[in-house]
């Protein structure tokens, strides 16, 4: 597929990830690839034959990025790499591995198929969020999985209103709200009772967190909608909004959070035998075929 410059991103301080990165460097050099290793994990690797750079530089120069680690490592890399339109593939050195689906013990065979073009490419959309205070933009960031409005303290309730394209949807007293992409529907949203959305859907799920009414239920909406959350001024404490559980932004009573689809997309590459429902069955322990 014309991959000549490959970026490597690894899970820091993880011996298994370091072994995979070391093997990947050998593999890629045999394919005459230029190899750029992300700077935070490069110091743990032996030998030479590779360059060192930050994620943004990898994004501007690489044709392919290989993330070695868990889904958390993929999320952190994806938020940066998506804006550079770099193809990304994941080698699982984490736990569940919904996004990092290549087996580290069989990576050469699976990468061979990717290099020869026998693979699947998915376009996953991201979210962008903005926090406004008195009509002025305070902070902004992006998310691959979900944006979550939540309290800074455990088991504390808040009040807020939700609007969809300026239409009032509901007000709520709860611990917060999860706004999840299809990619994030198998992450925090799933733990909160949200629906699983197949990756090809152009939709978002809005999942209440411990609402103070039994009638509150998750709702699936068009991903091209703008979601606005108005935080009540009656809240006595400062709140937070987080992206993929990695980035936390401060929210004060009376602030507004605006969430919309990010123009950047994550180009996620899978081996040719990848099947989303096989992943669900394996990771979530679903039953096998009876006959």
**Is 139 annotated in some ligand binding site?**
no
Which one of 32, 54, 63, 71 is the catalytic residue? 71
Is 72 marked as binding a ligand?
yes
108 assigned to a ligand binding site: no
How far is residue 235's CA from residue 239's CA, in Å, rounded to a whole number?
9
270 is in an annotated binding site: no
CB 188 within 8 A of CB 157: no
Tell me how far apart the alpha carbons of residues 150 and 130 are, in angstroms, rounded to a whole number. Answer: 15
Whether residue 14 is annotated as binding a ligand: the answer is no
Q: Judge whether 175 is annotated as a binding position.
A: yes
8 carries a ligand binding annotation: no
In angstroms, the CA 77 to CA 56 distance is 9
Cα distances from 151 to residues 113, 137, 249, 256, 258, in angstroms, run 46, 21, 11, 15, 17
Helices assigned H by DSSP within 31-175: 39-42, 55-61, 71-81, 107-115
Residue 189 is assigned to a ligand binding site? yes
244 as an active site residue: the answer is no
Q: Are 272 and 118 in contact (CB under 8 A)?
A: yes
Residues flagged as binding site: 71-72, 145-146, 156, 173, 175, 186-191
Catalytic positions: 71
Residues flagged as binding site for NAD(+): 71-72, 145-146, 156, 173, 175, 186-191
């Amino acid at each position: 597929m014309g991959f000549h410059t490959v970026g490597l991103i690894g899970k820091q301080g993880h011996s298994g990830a370091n072994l995979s990165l070391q093997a990947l460097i050998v593999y890629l050099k045999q394919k005459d690839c230029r190899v750029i290793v992300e700077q935070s994990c490069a110091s743990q690797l032996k030998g030479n034959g590779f360059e060192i750079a930050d994620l943004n530089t990898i994004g501007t120069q690489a044709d392919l990025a290989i993330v070695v680690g868990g889904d958390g490592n993929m999320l952190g890399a994806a938020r940066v790499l998506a804006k550079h339109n770099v193809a990304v593939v994941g080698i699982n050195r984490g736990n569940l591995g919904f996004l990092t689906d290549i087996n580290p013990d069989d990576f050469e065979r699976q990468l061979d198929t990717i290099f020869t073009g026998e693979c699947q490419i998915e376009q996953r959309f991201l979210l962008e969020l903005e926090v406004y205070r008195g009509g002025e933009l305070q902070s902004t960031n992006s998310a691959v999985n979900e944006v979550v409005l939540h309290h800074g303290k455990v088991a504390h309730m808040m009040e807020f209103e939700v609007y969809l394209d300026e239409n009032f949807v509901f007000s709520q007293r709860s611990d917060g709200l999860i706004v999840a992409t299809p990619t994030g529907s198998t992450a925090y949203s799933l733990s909160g009772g949200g629906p699983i959305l197949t990756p090809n859907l152009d939709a978002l799920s809005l999942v209440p967190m411990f609402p103070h009414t039994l009638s509150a239920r998750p709702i699936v909406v068009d991903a091209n909608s703008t979601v606005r959350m108005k935080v009540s001024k009656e809240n006595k404490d400062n709140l937070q909004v987080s992206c993929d559980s990695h980035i936390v932004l401060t929210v004060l009573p009376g602030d507004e959070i605006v969430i919309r689809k990010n123009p950047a997309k994550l180009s996620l590459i899978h081996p040719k035998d990848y099947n989303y429902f096989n992943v669900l069955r394996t990771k979530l322990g679903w039953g096998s075929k009876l006959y």
